[in-house]
Amino acid sequence: VVTLKTLSSPASPSVKDLEKILYGGKRFGNHVDEVWPNLFIGDMSVANDRYSLWKLGITHVVNAAHGKTHCQGNHYFYGSTVDYYGVPADDSPSFDLSRYFFPSAEYIHNALDTTTRVLVHCAVGVSRSASIVLAYLMIYHNYTLLDAINKVKERRWIFPNRGFLKQLRALDMKLQKTS
């Protein structure tokens, strides 16, 4: 686990420092991992497998790659047993994912309780979906970005793209100012 003492800036780590942290640890992953109680990060293969979702007890899906050119899950695909929330995000450093941080975090927060299980997925399950989960931990559980990364990395290899890291870093600084 990386601490602030090993980084260049104690306030909020630089993108370069965050990338160094993310390069560490295991570099392979499962199709889905539970990274927080009842909160899972996965890829599109698990999201498109209704039997796997049923076995996992998934009741809510956040698709961080929703849209015509992305993963095609929707209310019709999942039926009445799974609540669906789509985030039409491109995995591009220039895409503004930050506009979805608060609405997605609110959806996850409202969905989670002891009887529900939420899957947040994108195509590969390492950038868009991970960024949404990191934002959720920062917004609703008062984690710093570094703490959120370390928490998720205990269970899954993640690597948000550089643009998303910049946006998460900006969120981190904003949340630190208000606390």
Total Cβ atoms within 10 A of residue 101: 22
Two tokens at 89? 């995000």
Helices (H), the chain: 15-23, 44-47, 50-56, 75-78, 101-111, 128-141, 145-153, 162-178
Q: Are 102 and 72 in contact (CB under 8 A)?
A: no
pLDDT above 70 as % of the chain: 88
> How long, in residues, is the chain?
179
Two tokens at 114? 């002891």
Q: d(Cα 108, Cα 41) in Å, to the nearest integer?
A: 12
Question: What pLDDT score was predicted for residue 29?
Answer: 76
Question: What pLDDT score was predicted for residue 78?
Answer: 81
Question: What pLDDT score was predicted for residue 179?
Answer: 72
Question: What pLDDT score was predicted for residue 6?
Answer: 47
Q: Are 70 and 88 in contact (CB under 8 A)?
A: yes
pLDDT digits (tens, 9 = 90+) for 21-58: 888 766 667 999 999 999 999 999 999 998 999 999 99
Burial pattern 20-54, b for ≥16 Cβ within 10 A else e, equals: ebbeeeeeebeebbbbbebbbbbbbebbeeeebbe
Prediction pTM value = 0.90
Q: d(Cα 152, Cα 87) in Å, to the nearest integer?
A: 20
| Active-site residue, 71 included | no
Question: What pLDDT score was predicted for residue 111?
Answer: 96
Q: Can you say whether the dihedral through the CA atoms of 30, 36, 38, 39 is positive or negative?
A: negative
Q: Among 7, 62, 89, 122, which one carries the catalytic annotation?
A: 122
Q: Are 137 and 148 in contact (CB under 8 A)?
A: yes
The gap from C-alpha 160 to its chain's centroid, in whole angstroms, comes to 9
CATH number for the domain whose boundaries are 14-173: 3.90.190.10
pLDDT digits (tens, 9 = 90+) for 50-102: 899 999 999 999 999 987 665 666 667 788 889 999 999 999 999 999 999 99
Share the mean pLDDT of the chain.
Answer: 89
Residue 30 or residue 9, greater confidence: 30
